[in-house]
Structure 1
Amino acid sequence: MNNKMITKLLLLAGISALPLAAQAAPDPNFHIYLLLGQSNMQGTATIQAQDRGINNPRVRTLQSENGCSGQNWTYGQWRVAEPPQVRCNQEGGLGPGDTFGHTMAANTDDNITIGLVGGAYGGAKIEYFLPNCGSDCTPPYGGISGAPDNGTGGYKWVLDLAKKAQEAGVIKGIIFHQGESNSGQQNWPSLVNQYITALRTDLGISAADLPFIAGELPYTGCCSGHNTLVRQIPNAVQNGHYVTAEGGLNDKGDGLHWNSAAVREMGRRYAAKMLTLVDTNSGPVDCGTQDGSPICCNISADPDGDGWGIQNDNQTCLVTPATDGYIPPNPDDVVAAINVGGQGVSFDGVYYQADTGYTGGMANSTSDSITGSDGSALFQTERYGDFTYEISVPTGDYDVTLDLVELYWDVAGSRAFSVSIEGNTVVDDVDLVSQVGHDVAWLAGPFATRVQDGSLSIAVSTTTDNGTLSGILVRTGTAPTPSSSSVNSQVASSSSVASSSSQAAVSSSEASSVMPSSSSAAVSSSSATSEPVKLGSADWYFLVLMGFVVALRQKLRGAAAS
């Protein structure tokens, strides 16, 4: 049983929590930034005299590799920042992290320390850094001494460094410079999003609390055309931004890498942008109390979602609606709800989380009023193009509703697209203007579906112009049955619209093939109740501890009465 659970029990029993033996809590005044990407972030520019001997104790580096020549630096060790900030680059080693770190320190309170964590590798494609790196898991130019699996799989390396950093302080932002090895690859923005979304999830930090800034590639080099994709990052990555490389910044003559002056300027540009996105004040802050317990300032304090968290000062706190990032509880039958292309919103008694789980497509939004939306912003955002969603759900039966709206076209025939769920077409070649009109919310479904592999798959494909989707709602359901050859959909204003087979049809054969018969997953009442309840050692430990808490509380009351 962990310290968090014991502290909760003491609070519930009305006893003040005593200090618990544990490692030192992360310092809320240690602000940490991740430096990610390939060679230009790793640093290949020449380290010059002006870059040495700064030795600011308020800027520190987490060593990301063993074996730097002439240095007694160890993987996972914090040191005073000096180049190289990332790995052991013997060819030079000056990267944008140097001036970034010192600029951030110069613009924050004197009691705040800046931490730099370098997870960049020269020549590495974005695929190397994905959780599922496939055939790209091998480091391009040899292993990384000290890293998990010697650097096989860049994601494991970066995540390991970031988690070590979280033990010491608070990760505040990410700067990123990568793309030469993927120059012109059209799905690069979506792959970057996969990387950053997974990293935020595994670190337990919301997108709102972890801004991401990508940097353009040198305009004087070989790959400046890739900058059109870099500029798509704000649409592809939630809380994503970019900084320009325009304005006379030169490469060092090889067409790929910055010279020293350009690297320093890029570091300053990253810092200038980051300073507009993060809170540089000292922490922690007092967010009030409820029922005698401190209120969690941010939802990231409660990564397991049980309503209790631990603040940066190691203080147990309570999640309330006043907590930044608070997510209202949904009805019990809601398994997932996603605001496609947008931030977290509520609609019709359901909270839709910020866009997640997608591959491909582009986000878009409008300020137009949407008929049938009840004032919710759910229908003011979309993802358009050809794209897919993978939503993690347990094996079972679900009812899926698709939230649709035509935000752009007002002439019939301008857009047509289809949507499939688990490989079965549920919306077939639909024209939303013909169906309901322009800026009118339409709820298609619910569509009964069976998921057998732990992931609900939704795919949008274009017939004319671009496919579009504004929201996904997944509720627990029943096994699909071949009861009808068509599906009725409903306009959000509650007026019914019967969809023709060419607009939102599911054939009886498709419906029955989504899942096997329900009998294969049935459990009889006798088999569900005949086995006696068994208590494990952890359960007995919990009961004994509760008895101790009650006895201690009674003893304290008796002492107070006497």
Structure 2
Amino acid sequence: MKLINLKTLLGLLLGAAPAFAQDAPEQMDLYLLIGQSNMAGRGATDAASQPNSAQIWAINRQNEWKMAADPLHEDKPAVVGVGPGLTFAQEILKSNPDRAIGLIPCAVGGSGIDDWQPGAKHGQTGIYAYDEMLARVQEAQKRGTIKGIIWHQGESDSSPEKKDAYAAKLADFFRRLRRDTHTERVPLVVGTIGDFYVTEHPDAASINQVITNYARKTKLVYLASAAGLVHKGDDTHFDTASARELGRRYAEAFLRKQE
């Protein structure tokens, strides 16, 4: 066997480094992605899931920055897939192509509004949704400033026992979130629950009304409608095309506030 001397080996390693090195920009426009499974994404991945754009990055649960690709989230690794976040970023980039984007994916599938309290542990995943989100935001803010927040949640609160308390809890959550992340003046886009879910769970109509009213009555809050989008066959989660369309609608709502 021919041995490679140390100098040659070092040269090979250094030469290969650029092929796998991922160095995120020092300063990025950051966007926080939060909510439950339809923000995390459950659509099937495909060729468009890995755009390999050097201008769109995402921070993972290990606080590592990687070029953004679906799945962005890691809440339920066995089922996570395409959500609205990546398409949202791509649309935002089109409007300001000179600015690098850093995504902060923190959605937790199956989480109710009560799971987004400090110290609350989500039973399905064991994730402390709020605490982990806050820690990841603080790490991400070392490389930029949060420019926007997008939220999709409410399916888990679409029941007779929970729906009436949702409005007050949602408002309390966002007051706390803005205070703790120093985003009092940052635009927030909230999304409605899919029509298909409302058909199967009529109490979700009340949640959609709360979300709509919150956007209408609260400064710096905008609405992304899920009307007309379709599920992937489970009556709960957007399919790949609909998840991406929802991402475009989030971006449209976010960009509309600048008009």
Q: Which amino acid aligns with 2:89?
A: G
1:166 paired with 2:166, answer no
Note the 1:146-545 alignment, pairs <5 A.
151-152=127-128, 154-183=129-158, 185-206=163-184, 209-221=185-197, 222-223=200-201, 224-225=204-205, 226-234=207-215, 237-246=218-227, 248-277=228-257
Query: Paired residue for 1:80, among 64, 67, 89?
Result: 67
Alignment deviations for residues 247-287 of structure 1 (CA, whole Å, 9 cap, x no partner): x31011211110111101000000111123369xxxxxxxx
1:203 deviates by: 2.1
Which runs of structure 1 show a deviation greater than 3 angstroms over 4 or more consecutive aligned residues? 235-238
1:41 deviates by: 0.5
Partner secondary structure for residue 213 of structure 1: strand
Confirm or deny: 8 A CA contact 1:123 1:140 kept in the other structure.
Answer: no
Partners of 1:241 and 1:141 in 2: CA distance: 30
Partners of 1:193 and 1:235 in 2: CA distance: 13
2:30 is matched with which residue? 32
1:234 deviates by: 2.0
Partners of 1:46 and 1:90 in 2: CA distance: 12
Partner secondary structure for residue 196 of structure 2: coil
Partners of 2:258 and 2:30 in 1: CA distance: 11
1:237 deviates by: 4.3
Structure 1 portions without partners, runs of 5+: 1-25, 65-74, 144-150, 280-562
How many residues end up aligned between the 2 structures? 226
1:410 is matched with which residue? none
Partners of 2:63 and 2:245 in 1: CA distance: 28
- Greater fraction helix: 2
1:58 paired with 2:67, answer no
Alignment deviations for residues 276-316 of structure 1 (CA, whole Å, 9 cap, x no partner): 3369xxxxxxxxxxxxxxxxxxxxxxxxxxxxxxxxxxxxx
Partners of 2:136 and 2:218 in 1: CA distance: 22
Alignment deviations for residues 195-223 of structure 1 (CA, whole Å, 9 cap, x no partner): 121121122232xx211111111101234
Q: Which amino acid aligns with 1:43?
A: G
Partners of 1:140 and 1:180 in 2: CA distance: 16
Partner secondary structure for residue 36 of structure 1: strand
Structure 2 portions without partners, runs of 5+: 1-24
1:50 deviates by: 2.8
Confirm or deny: 8 A CA contact 2:37 2:109 kept in the other structure.
Answer: yes
Query: Paired residue for 1:103, among 79, 88, 91?
Result: 91
Change (3 A) 1:251 1:267: same
Partners of 1:124 and 1:114 in 2: CA distance: 26
Partners of 1:172 and 1:123 in 2: CA distance: 26
Q: TM-score, normalised by structure 1?
A: 0.38
- Report 1 or 2 for greater relative contact order, CA contacts < 8 Å, sequence distance ≥ 6: 2
2:10 is matched with which residue? none
- Greater fraction strand: 1
1:92 deviates by: 4.3
Change (3 A) 1:108 1:203: same
Confirm or deny: 8 A CA contact 1:193 1:237 kept in the other structure.
Answer: no
Partners of 1:261 and 1:120 in 2: CA distance: 19
Give 1 or 2 for the bigger CA radius of gyration.
Answer: 1
Q: Which amino acid aligns with 1:227?
A: N
Q: Which amino acid aligns with 1:84?
A: P
Compute the RMSD of aligned alpha carbons.
Answer: 2.0
Confirm or deny: 8 A CA contact 2:49 2:71 kept in the other structure.
Answer: no
Alignment deviations for residues 373-397 of structure 1 (CA, whole Å, 9 cap, x no partner): xxxxxxxxxxxxxxxxxxxxxxxxx
Partner secondary structure for residue 93 of structure 1: coil
Change (3 A) 1:160 1:237: farther
Change (3 A) 1:195 1:228: same
Partners of 2:125 and 2:147 in 1: CA distance: 30
Change (3 A) 1:194 1:278: farther
Partner secondary structure for residue 242 of structure 1: strand
1:120 paired with 2:107, answer yes
Partners of 2:172 and 2:91 in 1: CA distance: 29
Identity of paired residues, percent? 31
Partners of 1:194 and 1:257 in 2: CA distance: 26
